Amino acid sequence: MADYNYLTLVNEVNRRLNEVELTSANFATASGFYHTTKDAINSAIRHINHEEFGWPFNHVEQEDVLTAGIIRYGYPHDAKFVDMDSFRIKKDTNLNVNTKLLKYVDYKDYLQNHIKYEYDGSDTLQDTPAYVSVTPSLEFLVFPTPDKAYELVYEYYRNPVELENYDDVPSIPKEFKHIIVDGAMYYAYQFRGDTQASQLAQQKFEEGVKYMRTLYINRYSYIRSTYRPKSGISNFSVRVA
């Protein structure tokens, strides 16, 4: 998105402070206040990402192809949290396998009861994986040992990387662009020593993050009752947090 990237975010801060805007040509070599503005954008994004563990825009559905005979696989490099209850084998008619949810097994349980799959290379132990476990070194294990190149699907929340190039796009959706800029203004005013403006920007930024949390995090579920008392039919909803 040409109108939503690192450069446009930095330049919006520059415009608010009546500074000359950067271009794609001089962005990488910007120094002084302009380098501080670049840092301020990343600081604002970092703050937003730290505010909530499970922002939906940081959610990833990963697909990996397993290797026959291999039980251990590394975490994605950007993984913050891997949902161990989300692992499933994807349906593949060529491999004669249906979609199958893998059951999570604690690592100690794996060591005590299933370690044979890792050190016994016998083909007789290879099959469609039914279980998944995670090691202290942040690897996951699927067992029984795969006998085919099954497609594994799982979900995780990522640690966003900092913006670096002028055309890098944040993981935070564009509709919250103004909140990122408000956060950057807080840091920019701090750099300029304007305490009052910095405090006002911080308040506006925190209100924006609160609004994001209302949209994405503070949701409620409803349980619908189908209980039928003797006097008639009751059909009501109960809200639970």
pLDDT confidence tier of residue 103, bands split at 50, 70 and 90: very high
pLDDT confidence tier of residue 182, bands split at 50, 70 and 90: very high
pLDDT at 10 over 90: yes
Give the H/E segment covering residue 50. helix 33-51
The answer to whether the pTM exceeds 0.85 is: no
pLDDT at 221 over 80: no
- CB–CB of 178/16 below 8 Å? no
**Integer CA distances (angstroms), 140 to 37, 66, 70, 111, 189, in order:** 40, 12, 11, 13, 45
Per cent of the chain over pLDDT 70 is 90
- CB–CB of 147/68 below 8 Å? yes
Give the H/E segment covering residue 79. strand 79-89
pLDDT of residue 237: 44
pLDDT of residue 228: 54
The pair of structure tokens assigned to 218 is 């503070």
The residue assigned the tokens 């939906």 is 56
- CB–CB of 99/54 below 8 Å? no
